[in-house]
Amino acid sequence: MAISEEEAFRRLDAVARTIDPRLKVDRAWVFYREGSFPGFEFGIQFGQARTVLFMPEGDIDGEGWEERLKFRLEAVYRYLSRFPTAPRAKEPAAGKGSAHGAGGAADDR
């Protein structure tokens, strides 16, 4: 492992915030993965959209990592920003359709 998980988080988080301050890297979900294609698995969130991704070690360390990491995270940002925000549920009017009000499911027992 060329850099620690803590350093990977620091780099991911710093670059993500330059793209959009609402783009958040989940520190609890930054793990180094060994093998024939080493790199970091990380969780990232934009609004209500969340995903777990993999970043090759070469894109987060070594000469020119800043540009490669920014390029990759800009693609993540575009991907996550396509997900619509869930509409907020409207509060039912008091006594209409509420489980606690008149005519609600609790009253039908």
Is residue 68 one of the residues assigned to a domain? Answer: yes
pLDDT (tens digit, 9 = 90+) per residue, 17-29? 999 999 999 999 9
**Residue 39 domain boundaries:** 5-81
pLDDT (tens digit, 9 = 90+) per residue, 53-97? 999 999 999 999 999 999 999 999 999 998 877 666 676 666 655
Is residue 71 one of the residues assigned to a domain? Answer: yes
Read off the pTM. 0.74
- What distance lies between CA 63 and its chain's CA centroid? 27
Q: How many domains does the chain have?
A: 1
